Amino acid sequence: MRETQTRFFAFFVGAILLAAAQSVVVRAQVKDKETPKPASTSTVEAWRQSLPPGAEEAERPAVGATNEAQPRASRAEVEKVLLALERKWMEALKLRDASALSQIIADDFTLVSPRLLIAVGDRNKYFEHAMRGLHLTSYDMEGLTVRLYGRTAIVSGRLKQSATVAGEDWGGSFLVTDVWVSRDGFWRVVSRHASLLTVNK
């Protein structure tokens, strides 16, 4: 009798353990189905696949301010063009060339200088000053450096000019910082900050 009870107890315990093990297996299978499997591609790869062909290629700034489509240019070529545009800008002021100036000055251009402040987007006021008020007789730019940040460039250096406005002397030496932005393939200047250099006597 006792042997029968022992066998029954062992059978009962074994059945409970087997049921518990099956329950663990079933729970693991359900959890495995509920847990989302990692995608075959990463988030970055999925993003790349959603872009149109060629959209991810690095865009180099375009060269110049002409009406023709520009080929991609090296950093050295872009720097060379920006330095040329700086001189073209000053030459347009000297010659009062509104057409050349309009290719350089952005619609949202601002100017901060010791004698004149042009608020953001007041392009017409700047043109009026450049074409009517300012009489630039000579200029010299030196020590210009170009720093490129994608479609934005900062050109800084020294500007020495001889100029008058309504008979008042506007000549002198200035430290200038110009900000250029490449838009629709053309470089436009969006800001100039000029500080007058004092001469130590």
Instruction: Give me the domain span that covers residue 109.
Output: 75-196
What pLDDT does 115 receive? 81
Q: Which residues pair with 141 in a beta bridge?
A: 159
**Domain count for the chain:** 1
Note whether residue 30 is domain-resident: no
Q: pLDDT digit string (tens) for 144-158?
A: 999 999 999 999 999
What pLDDT does 54 receive? 42
Average pLDDT (12-31) is 54
The CATH number assigned to the domain holding 124 equals: 3.10.450.50
Which region holds residue 128: left if phi is over 0, alpha if psi is between -120 and 50, else beta?
alpha
How many residues would you count in the chain? 201
Listed in sequence order, the DSSP H helices in the chain are 2-34, 43-50, 75-95, 98-102, 123-128
How far is Cα 91 from Cα 185, in angstroms, rounded to an integer?
Answer: 23
Note whether residue 187 is domain-resident: yes
31 phi and psi, to 5 degrees?
Answer: -60, -40
Instruction: Return the percentage of the chain with pLDDT > 90, whole number.
Output: 50
What pLDDT does 92 receive? 97
CA atoms within 13 A on the CB side of 163: 25
- pLDDT class of 1 with cuts at 50, 70, 90: low
Average pLDDT (40-67) is 44
With beta carbons less than 8 A apart as the criterion, state whether 189 and 105 touch. Answer: yes
Give the DSSP H/E element, type plus range, for residue 190.
Answer: strand 186-196
39 phi and psi, to 5 degrees?
Answer: -65, 155
Note whether residue 94 is domain-resident: yes
Cut 0.85: pTM above it:
no
Q: Is the pLDDT score of 171 beyond 80?
A: yes
Note whether residue 150 is domain-resident: yes
Q: 130: which DSSP letter?
A: I
Note whether residue 144 is domain-resident: yes
Q: What is the CB neighbour count within 10 angstroms for residue 179?
A: 19
Note whether residue 175 is domain-resident: yes
Closest CA to 152 of 194, 127, 181: 181
How far is Cα 158 from Cα 118, in angstroms, rounded to an integer?
Answer: 20
Q: Is the pLDDT score of 143 beyond 50?
A: yes
Note whether residue 165 is domain-resident: yes
Note whether residue 153 is domain-resident: yes
The average confidence (pLDDT) of the chain is: 77
